[in-house]
Amino acid sequence: MNDKRTTKGTPGAATDPGVLAAATRAAELVTDGARVGLGSGRAASAFIAAIGARARRGLKVSGVPTSEASERLARSLEIPLIDITEETLLDLTVDGADEVSPNLDLVKGRGAAFVRERIVAAASRRQVILVSPEKLVPVLCANAGFPVEVIPMAAGLAIRRLKALGLSPVARVDPAAAGGSPLISVNGNLIFDCACSRPLAEPALARTLETAICRIPGVVDTGLFLGTAERVLVGYPDGRVDVLKRSELP
């Protein structure tokens, strides 16, 4: 549940025909009585609007939002919201991504909601990702890095360990605060954007790096979402939607 200090997840009118087409296609995956994870960002907001429209026509659906912005949008559309309890298993989560590699590994979190996005995705049977074609990349982190959320007390240790792994961590700045104050996540933590010394060209390299980062005391999570997406819907400006499925990968 992203707070006002982060920008991703702001309910906005997605006017891109490709985003709208992908969101509509994703909404068709929601069956009556489904429990759905509601992602953050422009594409996810379009999806929330699409299932809100279906709910007004009689679809029974409930949702778990990944940000305060997604929660506000869902409430405005009168989509019932539920909590993740010990017994809760969501049917699917629909979200966006910043990068999608050919094997459907993802970079998420440049909008700061990635920890809650991870939790909701993990509580779901499957994760469906909506992107426009420019989010498809040949390798992860060739042009930009990925975020790491860190408990404030562990900041110094985390910086030292991240650098030892070949990363260049920089504390994300709060754009709404004066004086370049660091952004504090809705979870009360710092976010470090980590540039890579080289792209994560091999899936095994990305997984080894993720494991090493998560072993650093005080690290909450990373924006590397590896092997989580069951399918990716790619919406093009002409309204065409390509469906990439993990089960169909070589």
Catalytic residue among 68, 71, 99, 117: 117
Structure tokens at 215: 């072993």
**What is d(CA 211, CA 208) in angstroms, rounded to the nearest whole number?**
5
- 184-212 as b/e, with b when 16 or more CB fall inside 10 Å? bbbbebbbbbbebeebbeebeebeebbee
Considering Cα of 161, then 165, then 166, then 172, what sign does the dihedral take?
Answer: negative
Q: What DSSP character marks residue 191?
A: E
Q: Which of 46, 37, 41 is nearest to 6 (CA)?
A: 41
| 248 in active site | no
The bridge status of strand 61-65 relative to strand 34-38 is: parallel
At residue 21's C-alpha, the angle toward residues 17 and 25, to 5°, is: 175
Q: Can you give the length of the chain in residues?
A: 250
Neighbours of 79 (CB within 10 A): 23
**What is d(CA 42, CA 39) in angstroms, rounded to the nearest whole number?**
9
3-state helix, strand, coil in the chain (%, to 5): 30, 25, 45
DSSP string, 40-78: -SHHHHHHHHHHHHHHHTT--EEEEESSHHHHHHHHHTT
Active-site amino acid positions:
117
